[in-house]
Structures are given as C-alpha cells and as structure tokens.
Chains A and B, each alone.
Chain A
C-alpha cells in the first residue's frame, strides 16, 4: 500500500463563487483532485487551480452552495482527475463528471486516464482523410466530414442544432469493412428534456450500443461543464488509440462551456477579455479542439463536431470567432432557412469543410463528388443573386437561364437540403439528388464538372 495524498485540511480561509481557498497548504499540486466535505458529511469534488503562499485555490465542481467556512474540510487526494476506461464504457450513460448515470456500477477499468489527455506529438500526427457518412445530405454532399477533422456547427438560440446533433449521432458511420465506429456524445448544460431526447434517440435507434453519453444538465453546477468535454474526449481517445476505433465526438453546447469558464474567471478576479471571457479563451478552447486527429501507425481517429449557439446569431462573437480560428471549417445554421421550416437549416454559402477535398473522390467516395458539390455551391450562389434581382426587376425581367437558376435554388432547398429527422441518406442517394437538381440547368451551364461526368450523370427532363 502506498500513500497517495489524503491529507485533510480544516482551515478554510474564504469561499468565493465556485472557489474555496484553503489555508495552511504547502504540499498541494496544480490540478490535484480535492474532496470537499461539508458539515453534514456530503462530499463534493474539486481541483486545485492555484497554489502558493500556504494557500490553495480549489474549484469545486458541484458548486459551493451550502458550504460554510467553519466545519468544511478539504481532502487533497494526491492525483489529478482520471476517468476509468475500458471497452465496457460503450453503451453507457454518465453524468458531466464521468460518473455512471444509468443505474449501473462504475465500469471495470482497463486504465485510469488523466482527463486532460496526453499531448499529441505533432510529428506523429497524420493528416485527416477518409470519409465519415452522417446520412445528412447537405453535410455528406457539400460539407463532408473527414476522419480526424474538427468541424463545428454554429447555430443560434432555439434552432434545430440538437435535433441535428442527435440525428448525426444515430446515423454516422464509416464506409468499409473491418472499420469499427463509435460516437461519444457530450451534452453540456442542456435542459433535462433535451438530455432525455438524446438518450431516448440513441436507445430507440439501437445506436446506444456503439455510443457513450455524457450528460451535464442545465441545473448542474456550471463548473462541471469545464470537465464534461474533457472526460468525453478522454474516453474517445481511449477508444480511438487503444481500441482502434473511429470515434466521432459531438460536443453540444460549447457556448455553455465558455460561460462556465467566464464564471470561474470572474470569481478568480482575472482581467476580463472580450465580452468578459477570459483572455485565455482561445488557448482553453484549443486544448479541447486540438484533441481531434489521427496518429501515424495507429488505426483509430478522433473526429470532433462541437456545436455552439451564437448569442444573438452573432458570428463575430468571441466563442464562434475563436472556434473558427482553431477548427477546420464550420457548418452554419441559418435563421432564414429555419423560419422557412427547412430542416436542417444549413446555410451552405456561409459553411465550409476545409479538408473535404482530402476525404472525397475516387477510392474514397465517388469520382464526381467534389465537382458536383462545387457545381451546387455555384448554382445556389447564383440562385441567391437571381432571387435578389427578381425582388427589384420582377420575375418578368429575368432571362430564361436566370429563371432556371431560381428553380435550381428552390429544388436545392426542397430536395437536397430538406430531409426528414429520421431520414438516413446514403451517399449515392445524396449525389443522385444533387445531379437531379443540377440537371435543371442546361448542360452548358455546368462548368464545374467534367464532360464525362455530365455524360454519365446528367438527367435530362
């Protein structure tokens, strides 16, 4: 038996927001786990944020409500927070701190992994490639998700991002035999009804078997939100690099994560940055997003789809702004499309998957994939211009080709973009719909695709 910390201190100097300042501490270490015991015997977890001058600042995950200076004790555990991992975590539901939330015991661990993850050796990183099929036409066809990529969804308050997240979690898969796929779903600060929806949705579709669910609810202490994405990514890394699986991590809603970060920063009286968020928001977000990737000579991959709701639909807000610097593209949900009742309301003209080109094409998806996607972008962009023009000159003032472009715009929104919540479209189906839409235009207008593809796929009406 060895001594692993375990010293309990009873001198609490101050309780401030989510922080407890413990006096007379000289052996604590940064990020060390602390067990706070209340006067009633209730135990809460926390971690060391700062240490020095005989004091330790402890951030209490479950909040400090009900704690008092007298009678509260802080036991320093002597290790950082770890997550027990094994293949048995698949099909399990955990709370935001990684504790079982499904009535089952703790998983029997193969390993205990530090939730902050091992830093990835940049030299060992492999470039993201290969396709992940989400079954959502607009994503697979035009904003393709690639294994090892980090592709966020920028949404707004009240829009259907959670429905889309659940649909992707249910349907996502990798093409090819012998490839194992798993989904790690972390709900951060979501309502109880949303958490139940995610859980039920995965259970009823049978997708829970290959998923791990972390649920941090809106009424859980905000501080727990700091931990949720980290435990989720720890599990994802284990599944990917130890078990060789391709793992898709969906983090929703990262805005709630950033809010929690702001709360702690304010309590620590740090100098605020833009909109009160801490100056290290970029660095902190990158410690999460940069955990996506694939390693050379390892079979698995970690792909991330963080979802964030932009306050007041403002894409220049610090959270989407800084996220955009780190990630490889973005999928933007549009308020106008949402109001028109289109699901999923993806504004393709504002969206982009930066490394799509490396995940599609011959041998990966289909030879014409990139070209028909470009043609769709081109045609839809032109359709928007024509729509704007027709507002001024009226439809009678448009040329025949202009009217065809307007028809393409409508057909794109109705057939390619719009999709049922439970509709899982394979890639062939998606590309077929894109060609059908592009075929509304005369052949001469299709200048982004090679003639051989036009001969093969153009569908004359």
Chain B
C-alpha cells in the first residue's frame, strides 16, 4: 500500500475541520442547554409561584365553602329548634286561655273590646258575635251600647267578640284569637328573648 502525502494532508485537514465544527457545535449546544436551563429555572419558579397562588386561592375557596355551609346549617337547625319551642309556648298559652274564667275582669275586657270596636267602626248600630261561653257576658253589657244587638250565631274562638255593622259592610274581629294573630310577631320576639335569642 502506498501513501500519498497530498491525500493524507487533505484527510487531516477534513478531520481537523470536522473536529472543530463538532467542538463548536458541542460548545454551542452546551451554551444553549445552559441558557435553556437558566430560563427554565425562572419559568419554573414563575409556574411554581402560580401553582402555589392558585392552590391557596382554591384552598381559601374550599374553606369558605365548607365553613360557610356548616355555619349556616348549624344556625338553621338552631332556628328550627327555637321556633319549635316558641310554638310549644303558644300552644300552652292558648290551652290556658281556653279555660279562662269569665269573672268581673273578663267582663271589663269585653266591654273595652266592644267600646274600641264601636269607635273603630264609627257606628253603634252593630251586631255582636261571640262564642257560647261569652253570650251572657255580652248580654250583660249590651245596655251600655245603644243600638248594639247580640247575634244568635256563635263563633268558635277563645274569647272576645266579632262586631259587624248592621248593614254588613264592616266587620271588626276583636276575638282573642285575632288579637294574638295580630300581635304574634311581637309575642314571638318576647318568647325568643327568654330562650336567650
């Protein structure tokens, strides 16, 4: 095998050139990798921060949801319990009112109710309705109100009277039941205060 110096020189030249190109390319790749790595680091940090912020927001949201609904649920149960107790107090009070003794004080009360009703309606020509227990009470005070008559009809109520103008155009319900209904929101409040509300 014979060697040609020119050929060897050319091969060496090509090899050197390739080596240089390769080294250059390797160095460039190294630089690129370093750049990418350093850029990635800041991107990674940004992404990391973003994930943390999003996570915190989500956690806050979940905390609000859970505590919010739990607090409300507990409060609502409490409201229902208080209401139940208030209703029981009302039922008990009505039971006691049902057994009301028709004494002198009660007669005074009915007189006052009738006086109020006549003034409210603006006429003394009225018809009075009441329950069967109160017929005698109303009858006893009729003489004080000229033009007032006792209706033969009876109404189902705890006590008190229903007063109607004789032409039937105006009615004033002054029964104890109606007055309790009218004042119920205020009475509920008073009862609830006793339960510490």
Contact = CB atoms under 8 A, between A and B. Distances in A.
Nearest to A91: B72
B88 interface: no
A3 B116 contact: yes
A10 B173 CA distance: 13
Contacts of A105: 79-80, 83
B68 interface: yes
Given A3-B120, A105-B83, A209 B71 contact: yes
B189 A108 contact: yes
A330 B42 CA distance: 42
Interface stretch (A180-188, A198-206, A410-418): A198-206
Nearest to B72: A91
Interface string B173-186: 11000110011010
B57 A8 contact: no
B76 A206 contact: no
Given A9-B170, A11-B169, A27-B122, A205 B61 contact: yes
B72 A26 contact: no
A389 interface: no
B189 A1 contact: no
A208 interface: yes
A424 B53 CA distance: 12
A206 B120 contact: no
Contact of A108 (B169, B173, B188): B188
Interface in B102-158: 116-117, 120-122
A6 interface: yes
B82 A108 contact: yes
A88 B189 CA distance: 13
A7 B120 contact: yes
Contacts, number: 87
A278 interface: no
A112 interface: yes
Nearest to B75: A91
B66 interface: yes
A106 interface: yes
Given A10-B171, A207-B64, A106 B121 contact: no
B168 A10 contact: yes
Nearest to B163: A7
Contacts of B178: 6
A26 B122 contact: yes
Nearest to A8: B171
B65 interface: yes
Interface residues of B, number: 37
Nearest to A6: B172
Contact of B197 (A108, A112, A204, A206): A108
Nearest to A73: B171
Contact of B189 (A3, A91, A109, A203): A109
Given A8-B172, A104-B79, A104-B80, A203 B188 contact: no
Given A7-B172, A8-B171, A105-B80, A208 B185 contact: no
Interface in B64-96: 64-69, 71-72, 75-76, 79-80, 82-83
A118 interface: no
B185 A203 contact: no
Contacts of B122: 26-27
B192 interface: yes
A106 B185 contact: yes
A346 to B, nearest CB: 23
A7 B170 contact: yes
Contacts of B185: 84, 106, 109, 112
B80 A208 contact: no
A10 B169 contact: yes
Interface in A86-140: 88, 91, 104-110, 112
Nearest to A424: B57
Interface of B: 57, 61, 64-69, 71-72, 75-76, 79-80, 82-83, 116-117, 120-122, 168-174, 178-179, 182-183, 185, 188-189, 192, 197
20 contacts: A3-B120, A3-B174, A6-B174, A8-B171, A8-B172, A10-B168, A27-B120, A27-B122, A91-B75, A104-B80, A104-B83, A108-B82, A110-B189, A204-B65, A205-B65, A205-B68, A206-B64, A206-B66, A206-B67, A209-B69
Q: Which 8 A-B pairs have the closest CB atoms?
A: A206-B68, A206-B64, A206-B65, A105-B83, A209-B68, A8-B171, A108-B192, A3-B116
Interface of A: 1, 3-4, 6-11, 23-24, 26-27, 73, 84, 88, 91, 104-110, 112, 203-209, 424
Given A27-B120, A206-B66, A424-B57, 16 more contacts: A3-B174, A7-B120, A8-B170, A8-B171, A10-B169, A10-B171, A88-B75, A91-B75, A104-B80, A108-B188, A109-B185, A110-B189, A205-B61, A205-B65, A207-B68, A209-B71
